Amino acid sequence: MDDYIFRPAQLDDWPQIAALLTRYELPLDGAIDHLPWFLVAETSDGTLAGVAGLERYGNVGLLRSVAVAEQRHGLGRALVERIIATAVDSGLTAIVLLTTTAASYFTHFGFSSIQRDEAPAAVRASAEFQGACPDSATVMWLDLKLT
């Protein structure tokens, strides 16, 4: 993996983040509201190379908006691992995510599929659950007490 600088997202990053999410047809709804909990990876020249977002709902996080400019270089894995570590360090007990295409990828981190109604009510009220992601999306759960 190339050398990247990982840092919290800033409002100035939003145009590049939105462009990367749009490139992969990932929803933008609600993302900017949680930008302080997003993590970006940039190259040494300041180019945005990847992003992963975390929304907080009580003691549960919602992982969203994982996207990288170039796939198959380990950057997505590094971003997800850092988001999980951030969630653990901040006292979250679980992470939920929605995916239409990457369920098998997230099983490598310990996520498992759950029914949509098993997600906490506060998470189900998020923009992701309320229409940004289709009802057909797979809902996944990671119990951080087991990591």
pLDDT in tens, 50-77: 999 999 999 999 999 899 998 778 999 9
Per residue in 96-144, pLDDT tens? 999 988 899 999 999 999 998 899 888 888 877 776 676 678 899 999 9
pLDDT of residue 47 exceeding 60, the answer is: yes
Q: Give me the amino acid identity at 66.
A: V
The first and second tokens of residue 34, run together, are: 């949680």
* pTM of the complete model: 0.89
Domains of the chain as residue ranges with CATH: 5-146 (3.40.630.30)
Please, are residues 55 and 120 in contact by the beta-carbon 8 Å criterion? no
Q: Which residues of 53-79 are buried (b: 16+ CB within 10 A; e: fewer)?
A: bbbbbeebbbbbbbbbbeeeeebbebb
Average pLDDT over residues 71-96: 93
Distance CA 94, CA 87 (A): 8
